[in-house]
Amino acid sequence: MVEIAALMMIASGAIHAVVNAVLKSGEDKLASRALIDLSGGLLVLPAIFFVAPPDGAWGWLFGSLLVHAIYFLALVKAFEVADMSAAYPVMRGTAPVFAAMGAVAFLGDGVTVPVALGMGLVTTGIFVSIIGRNLTLPALSYSLLTGLAVACYTVLDAGGVRNAPTPFSYIAWAFFILGAVIGGVFGAWRGRAFVHYAKANWRSCGTAGMAGVVSYGLAMLAFSVGDLPRLAPLRESSILFALAIAILFLGERPERMKIVGGAIIFAGVVILLLAR
């Protein structure tokens, strides 16, 4: 099950990169975020009638909801002021380290030497990939805030999925509440602009919403059976997919340090897959 969980995290990372590419390519990023979240919430709505409420995990869930609100705002702002290939590595590179620290402190997870080495390589590779990038102070600040928020909600959701009656009960209710609250608030914030944007972009954002449920649903399932310090960095393999998307589909330039950083990330992922 631990090996399956590791593969689930890599698949989660690949899908996650696609979702963020849709967000980055949208003209109105706040409206895109709202539409993606609402779509995900609607997708899981039928499921909440067939799974138990996440009794024992409500505190984890609402803590995650609060942190997700901060995450989405910081993410949108980061993508507004920086290229995806510059902002994404910073936000994802800081997350595994903070998440591992939180998991050790609050969830009792352990960190072995191979896991620490793999995590270090993934984080190092991510930061190597942005050497030479001109990140402004606002872009760097929003990217770092996004990374910290990712770490916090990762720890909270790992705790929630482990304390709920079943992993699926937490996953279904988390996506439903997240979509209804975050998506609803952001949509109301944009007002009429959101309605017009939704009419023109419901297909792409709806597809991204479904992909988001699959992506983070896989991650939460993995957290229910494996230690977070090993699994969280594996999801950051998404940076490899994000860089490919940014270059192939978003028109951003390929650079030597991105390739070097990708190779270091790949080495870290291999170590994490083999770690025990």
> Cα 190 vs. chain centroid, distance in angstroms?
23
pLDDT at site 39: 93
* Alpha-carbon span 7 to 235, nearest angstrom: 9
Q: Are 93 and 214 in contact (CB under 8 A)?
A: no
Model pLDDT, residue 174 = 96
Cα separation, 231 vs 254, whole angstroms: 28
Per-residue pLDDT of the chain (276 residues; tens, 9 = 90+): 677 888 898 898 888 877 877 877 777 888 888 899 999 999 999 999 999 999 999 999 999 999 998 988 898 888 888 877 678 778 877 888 889 989 999 999 988 899 999 888 988 888 887 776 667 888 889 989 999 999 999 999 999 999 999 999 999 999 999 999 988 888 888 888 889 988 988 888 899 899 999 999 999 999 998 889 888 888 877 777 777 777 777 677 767 887 788 888 888 888 888 876
Question: According to the model, what pLDDT value does residue 17 have?
Answer: 77
Position 175 scores a pLDDT of 95
pLDDT at 276: 67
234 burial via Cβ count (<10 Å: 0-12, 13-18, 19+)? buried
Q: Residues near 96 by Cβ (< 8 Å), separated by ≥ 6? A: 119, 122, 123, 151, 232, 233, 236
Angle, helices 84-102/58-81, rounded to nearest 10 degrees: 150
Enter the pTM of the model. 0.85
Q: What is the pLDDT of residue 1?
A: 66
**DSSP per residue over 138-181, as a string?**
HHHHHHHHHHHHHHHHHHHHHHHHHHSSSHHHHHHHHHHHHIII
Distance CA 40, CA 211 (A): 8
DSSP 3-state of 200: helix
Q: Which pLDDT score, from 0 to 100, does residue 128 have?
A: 84
Compute the Cα dihedral for 238, 47, 149, 190 and give only its sign. positive
